[in-house]
Structure 1
Amino acid sequence: MKRKLIAAIGVAAVLSGVAACGSDSGKKNDDKSTSSSTNAAGPAADFKGKTLNVWLMSGSNPPGWTKDITAAFQKQYPGATLKVTVQQWDGIQQKLTTALSESTPPDVIEVGNTQTPYYAATGGLKDLTSVKSDLGGDDWLPSLNGSAVYDGKQFAAPWYFASRVVVYNKKIWSAAGITTPPKTQDELFTDLGKIQAKGTKDAFYLPGQDWYAFDGMLLDAGADLVKKDGDKYTANLDTPQATQAINLYKKLNSYGTAPKDKDEATPQQSDVFAKGDVGSFIGLGWEAAGAIAKNPALKDQIGYFALPGKTADKTASVFVGGSNLAISQNSKNPELAQDFLKMAMSDQFEGELAKEGGIVPNKAALNSQLAGNAYGTVAAAASANGGTTPLIPAWGNVENAPNPIKTIFMTGVLQGKSPSDAAKKANSEIDKRLSQQ
């Protein structure tokens, strides 16, 4: 099964976006988008005393954006309460599965783009097909909206997208005599060797189970995670392409002291980078911001570049991660939840999220908000050569902890198993999960 490549997001779009927050046309859209059709006659009082519970993920909601949308919501619905609860990615799939099965789930949830088909198929999400246009869906990039659609129906709204890039400490790289980012993987290896020769143990900090970073390498090698066998999907890690990808990952891991049996959150790699003695790591914009928050001295020392490809003409492929916003099927406040989605998807708040968070927005017209954001510009350019995990419902079972790609395949190879042996064992576990309903 060929995985969907994202070709609609490029640096040209970032630099040439035609709509910006604060423009007259944008203001008209904002006014329309934050006025609910259910409130046209002014029945905001209907929502007095109600609490809208919104679950967002760690790193997704910048403080300025959260403050502004909360204020706008409280103004629009005086007497109602917006309660935003920040969840951690680690273990979220099991937590969401449980919450969505209960009679009083959170009203609005942030769902990873790789996990949305799973929740849609299990009946946990409200069908938004009839209100897609009202939410602004006519302008969503089709390539980014794909993960929010299941069985031809719209079960979520595409919220934001991001790709992992190399975050590096300019001071450490400069001390090793490196003045420009590498253009090829061979140049990267040479540069990392120079940095280590200067005494930096972690020239490249890459934990052994950073699954999404590895998925980009799989994409770059042309590896398909699954293949279709009749009417079912089966695992596909025992291929020369997957071996090529894991060998690249293993080599990069060797340029540092990151654990081989932990992921990027254990410990949080931004905390490790914040100490100031790490040359580089693969990460997201919020992780760089987290490092700066812990060590403000890093503010002017951090730079970004896309992981280089084998040749200088194209950067390596990346996994394009991101999140969708959905309404729980059992929400007790479906109208209020729909109005919140409309507000969050408006040009005002989608644009503000892009500007503050450095993420790729769901409309090409808002890409101008990334101008001047060093991470966002690099990430958007890298995303032009990116893709996703298989957009099939059963894929959510694969990502459930313990993810066999992480624990069996990746850590297995990094700890000395052959890619072939580790792949066979991981494939067996993946096949069991793909067969689960």
Structure 2
Amino acid sequence: MRRGLIAATGVVAMLASVAACGSGSGSSGGDDKTLTVWFMDGSNPAQWTKDVTAEFEKKTGAKLKIEVQKWNGIQQKLTTALSEANPPDVIELGNTQTAAYAASEGLADLGEFKKELGGDQWLESLNKPAVHNGKQYAAPWFALNRVVVYNKKIWADAGVTETPKTREDFFKALDKIKETGKEPLYLPGQNWYVLNGLTVEKGVDLVKKDGAKWVSNLDDPKVGEAMEIYRKFQSYSQAPKDKDEKLPDQGTVFAKGNVGAFIGMGWEAAGAIKANPAIEKEIGYFTIPGETADKPAGVFLGGSNLAIAAGSKKQELAREFLKIALSDTFEGRLAKEAGVIPNKEALKGNLKGHAAAEAAAPAVPFGGTTPLIPEWAAVENEPNPIKGYMTAVLNGQSPADAAKAVEGEINKRLAQKQ
């Protein structure tokens, strides 16, 4: 599981308690009347879980056994579980993980049942990571993405009375804040998920096919254009050019009251409030602006999919569970209870009252992810070469030269046997 997705799913843990109906380990075993579901820590709110369980058991007559898993070490644990004779029947997967498990034939093909699951209404940007080689191996469950978290007092003191609707408006607002002596924007130089969103906006991927293999596409001019936008944003920040978004924690920095804004997950504001409760009344959120007012900036869509293990002996029961969990009733309630982006446009009204989620939602149709190939996971392992590329550009190197310096390492990682 990649760190950006861990951050995405972590919001639910902050907003709602988790109901655990199992030990967090083990498998479905041989009980034909019990369906085992693995959720990740922080993903299934308590009341939602209770009600889904009751509905499933009432409808099917079977029992539901929920086991909550920790993110740390989950990839190896899932790999092992899916290869066993009695795997968990239904599993939650990080959206960028799904391709790897589909490629290993660990997931059941849901294509025949997509319509029954409501798939004809799923948001395309959320469903894309659930598809591998043209086949539907999972169902999109929820997503989260970055927004601008800002200090309303600092903006008002700078004479900025409206939240910006275009990127140029955003830069002008940051210029005004700079004149007041405050730090306009806190943006560490290696916040590469923000860069990934900008490459999505440019319509360019970070990899390309070279014959039968995947290779780096970091030298594409459009990637360079995205990096130049990032460089301008970062020029308003005093944050280190060689650190990522968690070093130090953005919320902690923001809590000091000297920063106009940061680009991050809405839940990071909770960290600021914990560090400085007085700042809560000053916090606002808005969608990251794009080039024009009618289209927000591209964003990285972190989130989760639900899948059925190919080796599950309870395929029919598993599909019944998905039909219930993904129904408009429970998908809408998940959004309302946890403030996560639902998988259908028609359900976004359930986000009312979740200010960060309301700000995030407009960008979802224009969002995307890292490359959806099994080989990609190795690229993000630390030290992530893309972070080195970003720091080099921020220190004055051209995007083309910086890309050339790391492409060998990226290609080496892409060639690793999965």
Same fold per TM (> 0.5)?
yes
- Report what 1:278 is aligned to: 259
Alignment partner of 2:93 out of 88, 94, 111: 111
- Give the whole-Å Cα distance in 2 for the aligned partners of 1:347 and 1:117: 26
Residue 137 in 1 paired to residue 128 in 2? no
Identify if the C-alpha distance between structure 1 residues 291 and 106 changes in structure 2 by more than 3 Å, giving closer, same or farther.
farther
Letter in 1 for 2:403: A
Aligned to 1:125: 107
1:216 aligns to 2:182 (yes or no):
no
Alpha-carbon spacing, 1:204–1:266, altered in 2? closer, same or farther (3 Å): same
Match of 2:356, SS?
helix
Go from structure 1 to structure 2 and tell me whether the alpha carbon gap of 1:143 and 1:51 turns closer, same or farther (over 3 Å shift).
closer
State the distance in 2 between where 1:189 and 1:196 align.
10
| 1:378 maps to which of 349, 353, 359 | 359
| Aligned equivalent of 1:260, options 234, 241, 244 | 241
Distance in 1 between the 2:85 and 2:243 partners?
35
The 8 Å contact of residues 173 and 279 in structure 1, kept in 2 or not, is answered as yes
Larger deviation: 69-78 or 107-116?
69-78
Cα distance change on mapping 1:80 and 1:308 into 2, 3 Å: closer
Asked whether the equivalents of residues 115 and 395 of structure 1 are also in contact (C-alpha less than 8 Å), the reply is no
- Give the conservation status (yes or no) of the 8 Å contact 1:136–1:345: yes
Change (3 A) 1:307 1:289: same
CA distance in 1, matches of 2:80, 2:188: 29
1:238 to 210, 219, 223: 219
Give the Cα–Cα distance (whole angstroms) in 1 for the partners of residues 194 and 176 of structure 2: 23
Q: Secondary structure at the match of 1:387?
A: coil
| Alpha carbons 1:53, 1:85 under 8 Å: kept | no
1:19 corresponds in structure 2 to none
Distance 1:81 1:222, change over 3 A: closer
Tell me whether 1:179 sits opposite 2:161 in the alignment. yes
> Which residue of structure 2 lines up, in the alignment, with residue 346 of structure 1?
327
Please give the per-residue CA displacement for 1:243-302, whole angstroms capped at 9, x wherever unaligned: 222232233223233333333234443344344443211122333345446555444422
The 5 Å alignment of 1:38-187 reads 47=33, 52=36, 54-56=38-40, 60-62=43-45, 65-66=48-49, 68-69=51-52, 81-87=65-71, 96-97=78-79, 100=82, 107-187=89-169
The Cα of 1:120 is off from its aligned counterpart by: 0.7
- Distance (Å, rounded) in 1 between the aligned partners of 2:328 and 2:268: 25
- 1:15 aligned residue: none
Whether the 8 Å contact between 2:35 and 2:317 is mirrored in structure 1 is: no
CA 212–154 in structure 1, closer or farther in 2 if over 3 Å, else same: same
Partner Cα separation in structure 1 for residue 263 and residue 397 of structure 2: 24
Inter-partner Cα distance in structure 1 for 2:254 and 2:46? 22
Seq. identity, %: 58
Measure the CA separation in 1 of the matches of 2:191 and 2:89.
31
Shift of 1:83: 2.5
What do residues 354-381 of structure 1 show as CA deviations (whole Å, max 9, x unaligned)?
Answer: 2233333212332222344433333222
Q: 1:372–1:211: structure 2 CA closer, same or farther, 3 Å change rule?
A: same
**Structure 2 regions of 5+ residues with no counterpart?**
1-30
423-432 vs 227-236, which moves further: 227-236
Cα-to-partner distance string for 1:74-123 (whole Å, 9 max, x where unaligned) = 877787542323426xx765665566556776554332323311221022
* 8 Å contact kept, 1:93–1:400: no
**In 2, are the aligned partners of 1:156 and 1:326 still within 8 Å (CA)?**
yes
Deviation at 1:330, TM superposition (A): 5.0
- Aligned CA distance change for structure 1 residues 337 and 184 (closer, same or farther; 3 Å): same
**Matched residue SS, 2:185:** coil
Which residue identity lines up with residue 191 of structure 1 in the other structure?
Answer: A
Query: Compared with structure 1, are the counterparts of its residues 209 and 94 closer, same or farther at alpha carbon in structure 2 (3 Å cutoff)?
Result: farther
Contact 1:355–1:370 (CA under 8 A) maintained in structure 2: yes
Report deviation, 1:159: 0.6
Rounded to whole Å, the distance in 1 between the matches of 2:101 and 2:112 is: 19
| Equivalences, count | 386
- Secondary structure of the residue aligned to 1:87 is coil
- CA distance in 2 between counterparts of 1:279 and 1:63 reads 35
Describe the SS at the equivalent of 2:242: coil
Q: Matched residues in 2 for 1:402 and 1:175: separation?
A: 40
More divergent stretch after superposition (136-145 vs 317-326): 136-145
What RMSD over aligned residues (CA atoms) do the two structures have, in Å? 3.4
Q: 1:177 is aligned with what amino acid? A: G
2:412 maps to 1:432? yes
After TM superposition, give the deviation of residue 402 of structure 1 in Å: 3.8
Aligned to 2:11: none
Of structures 1 and 2, the one with the larger relative CO (CA 8 A, separation 6+) is 1
**2:225 counterpart SS class:** helix
- Structure-2 change in CA distance of 1:56 and 1:233 (3 Å): same
Q: Report what 2:369 is aligned to.
A: 388
Q: Does 2:306 correspond to 1:325?
A: yes
Alpha-carbon distance in structure 1 between the residues aligned to 2:391 and 2:85? 39
In structure 1, C-alpha distance between the alignment counterparts of 2:395 and 2:87, rounded to whole Å: 41
Deviates more, 1:206-215 or 1:386-395: 386-395
Tell me the distance in 1 between the aligned counterparts of 2:338 and 2:221.
37
Superposition map of 1:282-321 within 5 A: 282-292=263-273, 295-312=276-293, 314-321=295-302
Identify the residue that residue 188 of structure 1 maps to in structure 2.
Answer: 170
2:209 aligned partner: 228
